[in-house]
Chain A
Amino acid sequence: MAGDAAVPFVEIEALRSREFIPAAKEALSSMIAEQGQSKLIRPVFNWAGRNSLFPLHWGLACCAIEFAAAFGARWDAERFGVVPRSSPRQCDLMIVNGTVTWKVAHKLITLYEQMPEPKWVIAMGNCATGGGPFRTAYSVVPGVDKLVPVDVYIAGCPPRPEAMLDGILRLEDLIRLRKE
């Protein structure tokens, strides 16, 4: 983001371990446990959190067009308080809308780490879910869940904008159920 010097370097190895993902999940849940201990306050914050999901404004591939269409006049995702922000610092939802290649994997993890907690990830479309039609290719990450913890998967190639909204509503349900 901030020029060449400020990008933390993340190394990815195709090895037989998945240490990172449980660790991140754990961090997430402990973070949530810390905040809003009070029974009175917690539902309020939970309500706020699920009704105001700011996705990261970035387009990876085909699904990005449907992602944009969902913000268009016909579906208008802003009805649900979903407003894309360009800076990861202000986001709480990363919608991985397209094929993730090994070249962009570092950047994706960096962006994920730049988002403040609590944060969620939606894998939109088949490429993000499992590599889709390109999963055999030499340059494609077969599923973004290999890199960051994914909360909701949306099937479709690409998913219709309605399906994307459905995924966001599913995530809202998830947030409500997980913490109350």
Chain B
Amino acid sequence: MTEEVLTPETSGNDNPVLWVARPMATAARQFLKSLIRPSTIVYPFERLEDPKFREEVQVAAGKPIGVGAVWDNYRGVHALNIATCISCNLCSFSCPDLCIEMVAVPGGNPKHPKKCPQIDYGKCSYCGFCSDACPEGCLSMTTRYELSVTKRSEMVYSPQKLFEVFERKLPMNPIRLERPANEDAILLDAPLCIGCNACARDCPTQCITMMDIPKPEAPAGAKLPRRIWKEPVVNDSDCVRCGTCISVCPKECLFWGTRT
């Protein structure tokens, strides 16, 4: 605990010289410094994220003042690579502001259209949870930050529009987070399963294979349940934990749990 008490004297600027000379001298010094080059960045013509400014901007007078090289993981407008998107819904589930909606993109099977995220930038808070959650790295945040529109509806970015952002090859957030070691796995409540293949069909990563199981002997006096004698087996290392299988399971026989 300090015993020292701050007084105007301790700041070393106590006795004002000629009333106002000191601040005026300070202002004049700043004036002379900024005569050559004020620290203003002439925005529409110069941009901070230009490669030029990444190196040049520094803590010094006579140059625009900044720290430089700070754009590596900026969280701006998203870029979506539709080609690698697996429609796992994880972005939409991880969004705290509920601004991501999965909409069908044209092409592919019309019965089971591919769904990709559509982002409403009027709600998005640029927290980056979605790109952190994206298992394939196809939804990523770029350094693009300008987005001003005249109609509210223009703020809703469809997957195609997000893909356009992607095609502009803007610098993207390179940070990929480690998956936690003790993630939950998809477990099967085997007696309930009817082997319908829905989970394997809809799995975005194709990590579920339907394995044959031996058909048991029917107990006396009872009929075997009508089912296909197959059971899903989840490959945990490929699984992205999106839970699509759980939501499509007609019998609710898949659930989250710890694999032992």
Contacts and interface: CB of A to CB of B under 8 A. Distances in A.
Contacts of B42: 79
A129 interface: yes
A143 interface: yes
A140 interface: no
Interface string B141-184: 00001111111101100000000000000000000000000000
A143 B126 contact: no
Nearest to B154: A153
Contacts of A143: 122, 152
Contacts of B48: 162
A117 interface: no
Interface stretch (B33-41, B207-215, B235-243): B33-41
Contacts of B154: 153
Nearest to A130: B122
A81 to B, nearest CB: 14
Nearest to B77: A155
A98 interface: no
B43 A155 contact: no
Nearest to A168: B148
Interface in A129-169: 129-133, 135, 143, 145, 150-157, 159-160, 162-163, 165-167, 169
B30 to A, nearest CB: 10
Nearest to A124: B148
Interface string B112-156: 000000001111111000000000000000000111111110110
Contacts of A131: 123
B66 interface: yes
The interface size bin for chain B is: 20 to 34
B125 A129 contact: no
Contacts of B39: 73-74
A84 B123 CA distance: 27
Contacts of B145: 156, 159-160, 162-163
Given A162-B48, A166-B148, A155 B155 contact: yes
B148 A155 contact: yes
A79 B45 CA distance: 12
Contacts of A174: 150
B97 A73 contact: no
Given A75-B40, A155-B148, A163-B146, 13 more contacts: A74-B39, A74-B64, A126-B121, A126-B124, A131-B123, A132-B123, A145-B152, A155-B121, A155-B149, A163-B147, A166-B44, A170-B148, A170-B149
Interface of B: 38-44, 47-48, 64-66, 77, 96-97, 120-126, 145-152, 154-155
Interface of A: 73-76, 79, 126, 129-133, 135, 143, 145, 150-157, 159-160, 162-163, 165-167, 169-170, 174
26 contacts: A73-B39, A73-B40, A73-B65, A74-B40, A74-B64, A75-B40, A75-B41, A130-B122, A130-B123, A132-B125, A133-B125, A143-B152, A151-B150, A152-B150, A153-B149, A153-B152, A155-B124, A155-B147, A155-B148, A157-B125, A159-B145, A159-B147, A162-B146, A165-B44, A166-B146, A170-B150
